Amino acid sequence: MASNDIASAGRKAPVRLFISYAREDRDVVERLAHALEKAGFIVWWDAALEGGHHFAAEIERELNAAEAVIVLWSAVSVKSNWVLDEAMHGRDRGCLIPVRFDDTPPPLGFRQIQTIDLNEGDEAQEIEAIGRAVARIRGLPVQEPGVHPRSTPSRRRGEQRPVWVPFAWALFGMVWALIFWGMARNG
């Protein structure tokens, strides 16, 4: 999937994402946010908050507007009440995408959802993985990396049957014809 295909995944407007993180992880989040924006997503994280904002109301509004909530789990963020609250919001809405850049496991209550690992230098793969997660959340078909549509075992409408199937049916018919012919001859 091309970046813009992922960001708009089946619709005209780009997908809105909310990123939850601990302040100490700001450098990682800034890199991720810019990469997601470059891929065509609309990204909100608290860097957009300015003086005079009622930050709790603004965060809640953006959480509700987001189609997916990305939570950056780290040694610091798993201890943050704000991150835990935002993650619960995403989990309860069924739109949580957990990511991490260190070996810290997600806290209890968040380990049932597969985590995307961020690795320095793998930006394109990270964005693709997040795009696939967004597509799953939206109920869209997702092509896994390295899997080609024709390699799936189930046959889709309009695809050809394997070559041997007509021959197998012909053989089956011939066996039954011989059985009935033998019965008629002896009977």
Give 78's DSSP letter: G
**pLDDT at 22 (0 to 100):** 95
- Give the pLDDT confidence score for residue 1 in this predicted structure: 47
Whether residue 56 is contained in a domain is answered as yes
Residue 26 inside a domain? The answer is yes
Give residue 174's pLDDT. Answer: 80
Q: What is the pTM of this model?
A: 0.70
Identify whether 171 is part of a domain.
no
d(CA 43, CA 52) in angstroms, rounded, equals 21
Report if residue 84 sits inside a domain: yes
Q: For the chain of 187 residues, list the mean pLDDT of each consecutive stretch of 10.
A: 52 86 93 93 82 77 94 96 96 96 93 88 86 90 64 51 70 76 78
169 in any annotated domain: no
CATH number of the domain residue 66 falls in: 3.40.50.10140
Distance from C-alpha of 110 to C-alpha of 127, rounded to nearest angstrom: 21
- Rounded Cα distance between 90 and 65, Å, is 11
Domain that holds residue 109: 3-137
Of residues 87, 105, 108, 104, the one with CA closest to residue 96: 87
Q: Is residue 89 part of a domain?
A: yes
As beta bridge partners, residue 72 has 99
Give me the number of domains the chain comprises.
1
DSSP state of 157: T
1: Cβ contacts below 8 Å, ≥ 6 apart: 128, 131, 132, 135, 143
**First-to-last CA distance in the chain?**
66
In a domain, 85, yes or no: yes
**Per-residue model confidence (pLDDT) at position 182:** 79
pLDDT in the model for residue 151: 43
Question: Is residue 159 a part of any domain in this protein?
Answer: no
Give the Cα separation of 21 and 100 in Å (integer).
10
b/e per residue 33-58 (b: at least 16 CB within 10 A)? bebbeebbbbbbbbeeeeeeeeeeee
